[in-house]
């Protein structure tokens, strides 16, 4: 029997491609994590270090990135301690502004994990169950409160001197190593919190993304400001409600002329589900500037690739901390000087 293999047409359905891209970024993240683990292991020993540190690991340092952003804005200096964290933050902000909250549903591994947990939710409850609005709305504000807390502490409380002091602290210089140790040597409390978040995400779909993720809050604001929106042609809509049923963010697409929600993460499942051609579409205005689904997928990947390639070309991708210095930090990582922001220099070492 001849097996016919056919890829889905990206002009009609984009979900398989979205999944492919999500898995691609997940595998990239795992590869980066594995390489960094090897690097830390080798640098912490006394033998040769044969693995180079992957700069992409700085994607997990959002606070350091926000501090670097303000420092860059005030001084014009792109700090060299964790430059990739700032590059990645700028790429994510650009995605938010131009391509809505697509980072969450196309790139973020936690977004992918949450989607699988949401499938378990539907399997258990047989259909999506959403929290009542009087609980949902206050909970949604939590992520904005968290974002507000960080934004206030950094943008209102820290002057140039304290920003520079933080950037050069031993704590910040090894923030990547400490983040790795936080997960690879997770305490019982950390494991309990992670397990609780997984459980909550099964009970309530996208619990972390919808209620707690400060990155999601930041992207929600930018996405709301983004000129790109999902529009519905009221004339051709047949009120089948298929768009409502597939929307993971519980947005009432079928009764919206334009989707303005900060919760829309541009997964395009509603556009894929709509049975009437050109009734739901991504565009800048209701009529003009329509963006095909395949173009959106290509744009999100290209923006990421172009941003990181440009950063390499400009020399702001790799950090300035030598392997020697990393070795010193890792071998002394239990020294209290690395515990939190104290504005101190590492023991027996000079800033490189
Ligand atoms: S409105 Fe459409 S694109 Fe936005 S989250 Fe819902 S299904 Fe995804
Ligand atoms: S899926 Fe399309 S046709 Fe059906 S309600 Fe939504 S916009 Fe209208």
pLDDT in tens, 222-239: 999 999 999 999 999 999
Model pLDDT, residue 334: 86
Q: Please indicate, yes or no, whether the overall pTM of this predicted structure exceeds 0.85.
A: yes
Q: What confidence score (pLDDT) does residue 109 get?
A: 96
**How many helical (H) and strand (E) elements, i.e. helices and strands, does the chain have?**
16, 4
Helix (H) or strand (E) holding 21: helix 15-44
Interval 134-159: pLDDT, tens:
999 999 999 999 999 999 999 999 99
Split at pLDDT 50, 70, 90, the class of 343 is very low
Map tokens 């939710």 to a residue. 121
Q: Atom 2 of ligand 1 has which residue's CA nearest to it?
A: 270
User: Measuring CA to CA, how many Å separate 17 from each of 7, 23, 26, 243?
Assistant: 9, 10, 14, 19
Ligand 1 site, residue 254, Cβ cutoff 6 A: no
Question: How deeply is 53 buried, as exposed, middle or buried, from its count of CB atoms within 10 A (0-12, 13-18, 19+)?
Answer: buried
Confidence of residue 46 (pLDDT cuts 50, 70, 90): confident
Q: Token pair for residue 95?
A: 């995605």
Nearest-CA residue for ligand 2 atom 2 is 274
Q: What is each CA distance from 258 to 36, 132, 238, in whole angstroms?
A: 43, 23, 16
Beta bridge partner(s), residue 329 = none
* Residue 349, pLDDT above cutoff 50: no
Distance 102 CA to ligand 1 centre (A): 10
Measured in angstroms, how far is the CA atom of residue 344 from the centroid of ligand 2?
Answer: 59
Q: Look at ligand 1, atom 4, and give the residue with the nearest C-alpha.
A: 264
Instruction: Say if CB 103 and CB 208 are below 8 A apart.
Output: no
If one compares 335 and 288, the residue with the highest pLDDT of the two is 335
Asked whether the predicted pLDDT for residue 221 surpasses 70, the reply is yes
Mutate-to-test residue for ligand 1 from 103, 253, 281, 296, highest number of ligand atoms within 8 A of CB? 253
pLDDT of residue 346: 45
Weakest-pLDDT range from 2-16, 29-43, 67-81: 2-16
Give the pLDDT confidence score for residue 342 in this predicted structure. 52
What distance in angstroms lies between residue 147's CA and the mean position of ligand 1's atoms? Answer: 23
Q: What is the pLDDT of residue 5?
A: 47
228 CB less than 6 Å from ligand 1? no
Nearest alpha-carbon partner for 108 in 186, 32, 249, 209 = 209
Nearest to 118 by CA among 104, 107, 129, 108: 129
Q: What percent of the chain has pLDDT over 70?
A: 92
Mean pLDDT of 91-114: 96
Question: Could you tell me the pLDDT band of residue 341, with boundaries at 50, 70 and 90?
Answer: low
């Amino acid at each position: 029997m001849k097996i016919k293999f056919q890829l889905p047409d990206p002009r009609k359905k984009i979900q398989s491609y979205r999944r492919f891209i999500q898995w691609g970024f997940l595998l990239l993240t795992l590869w980066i994590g594995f390489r960094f683990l090897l690097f830390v292991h080798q640098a912490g020993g006394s033998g040769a270090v044969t693995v180079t540190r992957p700069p992409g690991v700085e994607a997990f340092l959002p606070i350091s990135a926000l501090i670097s952003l303000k420092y860059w804005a005030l001084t014009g200096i792109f700090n060299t301690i964790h430059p990739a964290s700032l590059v990645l933050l700028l790429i994510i902000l650009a995605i938010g502004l131009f391509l809505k909250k697509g980072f969450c549903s196309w790139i973020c591994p936690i977004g992918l994990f949450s989607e699988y947990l949401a499938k378990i939710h539907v399997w258990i409850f047989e259909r999506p169950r959403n929290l009542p609005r009087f609980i949902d709305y206050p909970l949604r504000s939590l992520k904005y409160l968290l974002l507000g807390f960080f934004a206030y502490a950094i943008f209102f409380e820290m002057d140039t001197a304290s920003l520079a002091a933080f950037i050069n602290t031993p704590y910040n210089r090894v923030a990547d190593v400490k983040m790795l140790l936080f997960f690879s040597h997770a305490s019982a409390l950390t494991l309990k919190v992670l397990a609780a978040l997984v459980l909550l995400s099964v009970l309530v779909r996208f619990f972390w993304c919808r209620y707690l993720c400060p990155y999601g809050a930041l992207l929600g604001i930018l996405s709301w400001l983004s000129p790109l929106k999902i529009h519905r042609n009221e004339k051709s809509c047949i009120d089948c409600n298929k768009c409502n049923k597939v929307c993971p963010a519980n947005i009432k697409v079928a009764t919206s002329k334009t989707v303005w929600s900060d919760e829309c993460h541009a997964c395009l499942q509603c556009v894929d589900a709509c049975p009437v051609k050109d009734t739901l579409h991504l565009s800048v205005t209701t009529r003009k500037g329509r963006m095909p689904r395949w173009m959106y997928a290509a744009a999100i990947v290209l923006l990421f690739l172009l941003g990181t390639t440009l950063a390499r070309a400009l020399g702001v991708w790799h950090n300035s901390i030598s392997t020697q210095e990393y070795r010193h930090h890792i071998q002394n990582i239990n020294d209290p000087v690395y515990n939190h922001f104290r504005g101190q220099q590492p023991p027996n070492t000079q800033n490189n």
